[in-house]
Amino acid sequence: MKIHFVGSNGVSMRALAEFAASRGNTVTGSDRSTGGHDPKNVEGCDLVVYTNAVHDDNCELIRAKQSGIPTIERAAYLGELSRTYGKVIAVAGCHGKSTTTAMLGAAFSDRNATVHVGVADGSKVGADKFFITEACEYRASFLHLSPDVGVVLNVGYDHPDFYRNEAELIDAYKKFCANCKKVIVNGDDPLCRGLAENAVYFGTSPDCAYRATDVQNRDGMRAFYLAGKKRARVNLAVAGEHSVYNALATIAAACECGLSLTETLPHISKFRGIARRFERKGIAFGKTVFTDYAHHPTEIAATIKTAREIFPSVAVVFQPHTYSRTQSLMDGFVNALSFADTVILAPIFSAREAPADGVSSHALCRKIVENKEKAYCFDTFTEIVERCKDLREKAVIFMGAGDIDKVADLFIAAEYDS
């Protein structure tokens, strides 16, 4: 087949195009950021795949429909593609999907699994037997999947632009679990407990089939004893309490697929994380610089707490992601950011949304200050870099799901230019 990808620069779309090409298809692509779109691009195609960021008025989609060329949205194509592999493992959850999917990819290294993960350079074209993928809950995209093994790391309200309330989100997760032949869920998360009957639990609770005991903190890195269905000592090269849960989920999924601990644990123990997940970028102006993708209060709190286990003081440069999330979870952001010694706010990254009256980083900043925390807000990246030079904290985390990582690069570059 000849398959054209509309919006081909997206991380997931690039991976899907590589998977399609590896299976003998001719692949083309277009993106607004690199040359734009042209109706001629779809001529002679057998299928057009598009992201949900592409609207019905896109000239390539219009031409495809006029020409009778089938079109399919990215999540639906992912579901169709996954069914061409032997066994599908899908990782869902409001937090930690990318890291756990990548960790699973590492655990399956000896099996040459194909891995689809939503982070730059994280996906891998492998063999046909195992397909490991993130299962995204946004717009209920994960309902296009029919996994042999489904993993749910946690459930927490997010995406208020799609789910009206927590109950709607939970219902989507229940449907996802119903689509799975086997479900592995976080037994320590009360919302996960009711998602599926006959679920395999991981966590620290006594009834978890894959249970962490004797958890130790070694300069931020965790080590624990695995109890339950399998027993072993597990040492991790990634920091934070949440890494224990990611590792337990990885071990559970691998073991339920028939892999042994002897095969998987060496790879899990060497796993050092992925881009923009508490990623150390360097040192600038006497401060260790990190980037992190956290954009939900639960993720923000977890990242800051992890940093505080390693550094005596921590500053956070946070870029809120979408107006709807900022408005709906405002109090949560205030509470989560309070774990930092200093907070610097960048303008909201609008992504797919138009500005909303009264919703801004300045409004969030005022609430943080009312909470008696130290916070500042700036309208430009240049101003943020200049303020960061004078920070007294030993670590600074540039945090958010937008383009805040560019500010980290600018800050480090400023060290060499000064």
pLDDT tens-digit profile of 158-201? Answer: 999 999 999 999 999 999 999 999 999 999 999 999 999 999 99
Q: For the domain made up of 279-417, give the CATH fold.
A: Protein-Tyrosine Phosphatase; Chain A (3.90.190)
Q: Beta-carbon neighbour count of residue 57 at 10 Å?
A: 7
Over residues 234-246, the mean pLDDT reads 96
Distance CA 387, CA 188 (A): 40
Same fold, 2-73 and 85-270: no
Residue with tokens 């890195």: 221
The answer to whether residue 226 scores a pLDDT higher than 90 is yes
Cα distances (angstroms) measured from residue 153 to each of 134, 185, 239, 248: 11, 6, 17, 10
The answer to whether residue 235 scores a pLDDT higher than 90 is yes
Q: For the domain made up of 85-270, give the CATH fold.
A: UDP-N-acetylmuramoyl-L-alanine:D-glutamate ligase (3.40.1190)
Long-range contacts of 211-217 (CB under 8 A, 24+ apart): 211/248, 212/244, 212/248, 215/241, 215/244, 217/309
State pLDDT tens for residues 280-335.
999 999 999 999 999 999 999 999 999 999 999 999 999 999 999 999 999 999 99
pLDDT attached to residue 417: 78
Any idea where the domains of the chain sit in the sequence? Answer: 2-73, 85-270, 279-417
Backbone torsions φ then ψ of 364, nearest 5 degrees: -65, -40
Task: Record the tokens describing residue 398, joined without a space.
Answer: 């540039």
Percent of the chain whose predicted confidence (pLDDT) is above 90: 94
For the entire predicted model, the pTM comes to 0.94
pLDDT attached to residue 254: 98
2-73 placed in CATH 3.40.50.720: yes
State pLDDT tens for residues 48-66.
999 988 999 999 999 999 9
Average pLDDT of every residue of the chain: 96
Backbone torsions φ then ψ of 277, nearest 5 degrees: -125, 90
State pLDDT tens for residues 78-104.
999 999 999 999 999 999 999 999 999
pLDDT attached to residue 120: 84
State pLDDT tens for residues 266-280.
999 999 999 999 999
Distance CA 141, CA 131 (A): 17
State pLDDT tens for residues 102-153.
999 999 999 999 999 989 889 999 999 999 999 999 999 999 999 999 999 9
pLDDT attached to residue 418: 64
State pLDDT tens for residues 343-365.
999 999 998 899 999 999 999 99
Distance CA 225, CA 107 (A): 18
pLDDT attached to residue 416: 81
